[in-house]
Structure 1
Amino acid sequence: MSIKRNFHGFINLNKESGPTSSFVVSSIKKMIQPKLKVGHCGTLDPLASGVLPICIGRATRLSEFLLLENKGYKVRGKFGFSTDTYDSTGKTIDHSNKNVKRDELEKALESFKGEINQRPPLFSALKFKGERLYNIARKGGNYIPPKRKVKVLDISLIKFEFPMYELDILVSSGFYARSLIHNLGENLDCPSHMIGLERTSVGEFHLSKAIKLNQLSDLMKKEKLESHIFSLDYVLKNIQRIDMNLDESMKLKNGIKIDIQDSNFFYQPCSDKYSDLIKAYDSQGRFFAILRVSEDGKFLKPEKVFHEN
Structure 2
Amino acid sequence: MINRSDIEHIPVNGLLLLDKPGGLSSNQALGCAKRLLQAKKGGHTGALDPIATGLLPLCFGNTTRIAGIFLDFDKTYEVTIHLGETTDTGDTEGEVVSRSPVNISITSIEQALDQFRGKLQQVPPMYSAIKKGGVPLYKLARKNQLIEREPREVIVHNLEVHDYSENNLSLTVKCSKGFYIRSLAMDLGEVLRCGGHVQVLRRVEVGRYSVHDAITLQELEAIPGHEERRNQLMQTDHALNHLVKFEIPEEKALSFCQGQTVPLTAPRWDGLGLIYSADGTFLGLGECDGVGSICPKKVFA
Q: What residue is the counterpart of 1:145 in the other structure?
A: 149
User: Are the counterparts in 1 of residues 250 and 279 from structure 2 also a CA contact under 8 Å?
Assistant: no
- For 1:292 and 1:131, the matched residues in 2 are separated by 35
Q: What residue is the counterpart of 2:291 in the other structure?
A: 297
Q: What residue is the counterpart of 1:272 in the other structure?
A: none
Spell out, residue by residue over 1:225-250, the C-alpha distance to the aligned partner (whole angstroms, 9 max, x if none): 24421121233234322111111211
Deviation at 1:140, TM superposition (A): 2.1
- For 2:241 and 2:119, the matched residues in 1 are separated by 24
User: Are the counterparts in 2 of residues 100 and 190 from structure 1 also a CA contact under 8 Å?
Assistant: no
The question of 1:258 aligning with 2:266 is answered no
User: Are the counterparts in 1 of residues 84 and 194 from structure 2 also a CA contact under 8 Å?
Assistant: yes
Residues 247 and 73 of structure 1, relative CA distance in 2, 3 Å threshold? same
Q: 1:14-53 maps to which residues of 2 (within 5 A)?
A: 14-34=19-39, 36-53=40-57
Q: What residue is the counterpart of 2:239 in the other structure?
A: 235
Residues 33 and 158 of structure 1, relative CA distance in 2, 3 Å threshold? same
- For 1:13 and 1:21, the matched residues in 2 are separated by 10
User: Are the counterparts in 2 of residues 71 and 173 from structure 1 also a CA contact under 8 Å?
Assistant: yes
Deviation at 1:156, TM superposition (A): 0.7
Could you tell me which runs of 5 or more consecutive residues in structure 1 were left unpaired when the two chains were aligned.
Answer: 269-274
- Amino acid in structure 1 at the alignment position of 2:164: F
Length, aligned pairs only: 296
- Amino acid in structure 2 at the alignment position of 1:280: I
Could you tell me which runs of 5 or more consecutive residues in structure 2 were left unpaired when the two chains were aligned.
Answer: none
Under a length normalisation based on structure 2, what TM-score does the superposition of the two structures give? 0.92
Q: 1:266-305 maps to which residues of 2 (within 5 A)?
A: 266-268=267-269, 275-294=270-289, 296-305=290-299
Residues 178 and 226 of structure 1, relative CA distance in 2, 3 Å threshold? same
Deviation at 1:222, TM superposition (A): 7.5
Spell out, residue by residue over 1:76-134, the C-alpha distance to the aligned partner (whole angstroms, 9 max, x if none): 11111212211122233332113111111122222211111111100111111111000
User: Are the counterparts in 2 of residues 81 and 193 from structure 1 also a CA contact under 8 Å?
Assistant: yes
Residues 63 and 19 of structure 1, relative CA distance in 2, 3 Å threshold? same
- For 2:221 and 2:287, the matched residues in 1 are separated by 38
The question of 1:193 aligning with 2:197 is answered yes
- For 1:234 and 1:136, the matched residues in 2 are separated by 40
- Amino acid in structure 2 at the alignment position of 1:179: S
Deviation at 1:55, TM superposition (A): 0.7
User: Are the counterparts in 2 of residues 18 and 47 from structure 1 also a CA contact under 8 Å?
Assistant: yes
Q: What residue is the counterpart of 1:271 in the other structure?
A: none
- For 2:19 and 2:147, the matched residues in 1 are separated by 34
Q: 1:12 aligns with which of 13, 17, 31?
A: 17
The question of 1:63 aligning with 2:67 is answered yes
Residues 91 and 297 of structure 1, relative CA distance in 2, 3 Å threshold? farther
- For 2:123 and 2:238, the matched residues in 1 are separated by 32
- For 1:297 and 1:174, the matched residues in 2 are separated by 34
- For 2:238 and 2:47, the matched residues in 1 are separated by 20
Under a length normalisation based on structure 1, what TM-score does the superposition of the two structures give? 0.90
- For 1:68 and 1:122, the matched residues in 2 are separated by 22
Deviation at 1:223, TM superposition (A): 4.1
Q: How high is the sequence identity, in percent, across the aligned residues?
A: 30
- For 2:104 and 2:230, the matched residues in 1 are separated by 50
RMSD over equivalenced CA pairs, Å: 1.8
Deviation at 1:45, TM superposition (A): 0.9
The question of 1:211 aligning with 2:215 is answered yes
- For 2:241 and 2:156, the matched residues in 1 are separated by 22
- For 1:244 and 1:7, the matched residues in 2 are separated by 27
User: Are the counterparts in 2 of residues 124 and 134 from structure 1 also a CA contact under 8 Å?
Assistant: yes
- For 1:222 and 1:149, the matched residues in 2 are separated by 43
